[in-house]
Amino acid sequence: MLPPVLLLLLLISGAQASFYGVVFNYAFGNLQPSGYAVPYDFKLSYNSCEEFNTQTCNGYCNVPTYSIDEIGGEWCQKGYTGTFYYPYLDTLDQSVSTSAWTENRNGIVSSKAVLQFDLRNRSDINEPNSSPRTTILPLVRVPSNCQRNINLLVSDPDGDDIRCRYAAGSECDICTPPSLLSLSSSCSLSFSPTNSSDEGPYAVQMVMEDFPRQNVTLTNSFGLQVMKTASDSISTMPVQFVFKVDPAAPSCTEGEYLPRFLPPTPQNGDQINTNVNQTVEIIVRAEATQADTMELLFSGPFGLTKSSSGSGNFTLTWTPSPSEAGLNHHLCFVVQANSSGSVYQSDLRCVIVTAGNSPVTASPPTTTTPPTTTTPPQPTTTPPQPSTTPPQPTTTPPQPSTTPPQPSTAPPQPSTTGPPSSSNPNSTPASESYYVLALSAKLSTSLLLKNESAIILNLIKEEMQRQGLPAGIIVELLGIGGVQIAP
């Protein structure tokens, strides 16, 4: 049976709708009594929040949703965040369809998204793969006479190389890409000025894939192995949104009609580190001298809120919970201006917020792969939910196509804390505890502990695992002068 989030999509109504895109990310967590924890974040966009509520599961969803952002009469983005439990280390390829795309110039009618999970154990990090991560607004727009680059900010928990391409073949119902957008493998989209005859919305159907930087052996729960090279993708995640070409602007100079960002607005690609339960405030400033009003539009994690202290002055606020520790959380925003009935957007800015134990800092812009996080999240408690705590999904986690048939009810509760010995040879039963009270080691590296602690900690963790410690160890900084290791 499919995991709750995928089953949910299959129940989406096929009635007339205005679909605006989807983004899906998953991570790998530790073994739990119900199976291997797989935290996920799933964002869906429609013409309105009411349409979202009506279309999804015919209005009767038992999976909690959260509102992200909306602009009345145009689009609404909502998300699902939670954890499903997978009984085996294996793969899952799932193709799901939602409803009809909003009207578009490239003739995309029915939506379709392909999700390729790979939860086999990796030889390089001694734990299963996590997907590349990103987010995007449901609608990105530009005047027909203005140049615009959309630099999608991506990251990967495993340090893989991330590449983007347009969906093709069975990955979409109709795969015609927007002729006006050029997509590079580094996940950058480029638009050049065009004629007024090309104005209108276009459906963008992309996929984001992670490629190992060296040969990696993947092993499933039954001992079957496969080699992945730097030319082989591991997982495939959908990134879909609407790109709209608006009528020509009187001027393409930023700061006149098109809003221009001002300090202290973070740069695209900035990485912000914070602590669990510590509130992060991101100040956004913009100006558009020929605009009447401006508003901030964003896509980001559960609980992210915005406020304004006047036109062009905004604050994004987020407080990560313990279940959100260790992962990169992507946050993208634009400032949108209105002038004489016309709408103009700034360029797209995206940053990464990571919850850990380091003080709040901001690093220079990153490339497609920011520093690797230390450990995957430990989803031992209920993931962040809306203001009340809804019931957890009771549907069965996914079953890989290569595994024997599983019962249609909830997954079996194993009597031990681990799977069969062949599933993870380096795992350690919960009854055995390891404590490192003192560690004497000499490290030689060109990395700076202050700025690149995540990379250093991950290297230490890998070495500890090679020395026989369990895969679930946690390595944390106590300060610039020391580290802490715990089971």
Residues in CB range of 60: below 8 A, 6 or more apart: none
348 and 210 in a common domain = yes
149 in the same domain as 261: yes
Same domain, 128 and 254: yes
Q: Which of 309, 343, 363 is the C-terminal boundary of a domain?
A: 363
CA proximity to 392, closest of 300, 323, 484, 468: 323
pLDDT at 402: 36
Q: Is residue 440 part of a domain?
A: yes
Paired tokens of 107: 């003739």
So what's the pLDDT on residue 378? Answer: 35
Residue 258 lies in a domain: yes
57 within 8 A of 12, measured Cβ to Cβ: yes
**357 phi/psi in degrees, rounded to 5:** -120, 10
User: 439 and 352, same structural domain?
Assistant: no
pLDDT in tens, 135-150: 999 999 999 999 999 9
324 domain residue, yes or no: yes
Question: Same domain, yes or no, for 320 and 464?
Answer: no
Q: How many domains does the chain have?
A: 2
What is the spatial distance between Cα 146 and Cα 218, in angstroms, rounded to a whole number?
Answer: 46
Give the pLDDT confidence score for residue 32 in this predicted structure. Answer: 80
Query: For residue 164, what is the domain's CATH number?
Result: 2.60.40.10
Which residue range forms the structural domain that includes residue 281? 95-363
Single-letter code of the amino acid located at 126: N
Q: Are residues 358 and 435 in the same domain?
A: no
Q: What is the pLDDT of residues 406-458, one digit of tens each?
A: 333 333 232 222 222 233 333 333 333 333 344 545 566 656 655 556 667 66
The low-confidence residues of the chain, meaning pLDDT below 70, are 1-17, 55-63, 357-455, 457-458, 461-462, 464-487
For 2, what's the count of Cα atoms within 13 Å in the CB-facing half-sphere? 14
Domain final residue pick, 363, 388, 419: 363
